[in-house]
Amino acid sequence: MSDQITIKKPFDSHVHLRQGAMLRAVAPITAAKFASGLIMPNTEPPIETVAVAEAYRQEIISACQGDALTNKFEPLMSFYLTRTLKPEEIEKGAAGEGGTKIYAVKSYPWGATTNSQWGFRNILEAEEQLRAMERVGMPLLLHGEVHLDEHGEEVDPYYGEDTFLSDVLPRLLEQFPDLKVSLEHISTKEGAEFMEKNGKEGKLVATLTPHHLMYDRRQVFSGGYHPILHCKPLIMRGKDREALRALAVKGLPFISAGTDTAPHPENKKFSSCVAFGVFNSPVAVEMYAQIFDEMSALDKLEGFLSLNGPKFFGTEPCNEQITLVKKDWQLTEPVVCEDGTKVWPVGHVKHGLGNETFHWQVSA
């Protein structure tokens, strides 16, 4: 395979940028390597009105200004599927009223991950909002796991996605046949098989993260637990990783890159109550390239990284290009916020699995 590849600048279908000082530190990193991204709405408070989405969008744009970034990063905004999300806001957002278009609504299972306390316990209860989304053609982004069963008992997190796919999702698709759905960050062999069988361009799509493609739980627990890889959904078994990698490189138009980059301050990642989220934006594009190279599928990388995501959300892919070269390098520093807070990226030579080396690099 080639030691260099040039592709359209990528699109991130799933990105967390947080707020305030952390946003100002991490947003330019995403903007340097991605032309655009679908911004996650699980802020505090959550994004559930066009006015709040517009204010958040302006905060992101302001953080991404500067000569090095050429002011070109385009944040695509989303709503959080809360009990207080009004159907009229969905309709207003779909029409682009108020100056900001809303491209999707994200569902977080109640209590399952960071800032998920506003989510529905059962997504099928969100009938009013889902009917509005069907009417206007707004996609639903699913964190597709069952977190709590019908008795309120916690489900084994290693089986949460499988349970969702076999029980909740079929009922959702039957009840809302015109709903556009994206299964976010699928993590299991069952998820890969479901998408290969049922995926449909423009209707039922899925995203894959670099960390679910790069690692399996043997690495997560090698030499002790590695909190830098603590995320939801969890990083699964070796056979799950292999199934996801095989799915990624098939060139299917309904599979795309969604990094789920999720920064947390050092004191939350390295604590007795570890925060969910892998901060991968400093190396996500390079990880994807390395994985596709290992699978002898670099010719499929541009579709996965740069074309499929924009098409699903009804936007044009970027005309700007980036070049990646095959070159070994390491992550040796944290990202430091203006208030001194450190954010440690996946693969860091000390806080990752230990002396990790990446084999592809975005050319300067």
* d(C-alpha 240, C-alpha 238), whole Å: 5
Residue with tokens 């599927």: 81
* d(C-alpha 264, C-alpha 45), whole Å: 17
The dihedral over CA atoms of 238, 239, 243, 246, expressed in degrees to the nearest 10, equals 60
Identify the active-site residue in 12, 162, 216, 260.
260
Question: Hey, CA dihedral for 107, 83, 156, 228, is it positive or negative?
Answer: positive
CA nearest neighbour of 187 among 153, 221, 164: 164
Q: Strands 255-257 and 358-362: what pairing?
A: unpaired
* d(C-alpha 47, C-alpha 279), whole Å: 21
For helices 238-248 and 189-198, the axis angle rounded to 10 degrees is 30
* d(C-alpha 25, C-alpha 225), whole Å: 27
Cα distances (angstroms) measured from residue 349 to each of 288, 314, 331, 364 = 19, 39, 6, 22
Question: Hey, CA dihedral for 70, 293, 187, 174, is it positive or negative?
Answer: positive
Q: Is residue 260 flagged as an active site residue? A: yes
Catalytic residue ranges: 260
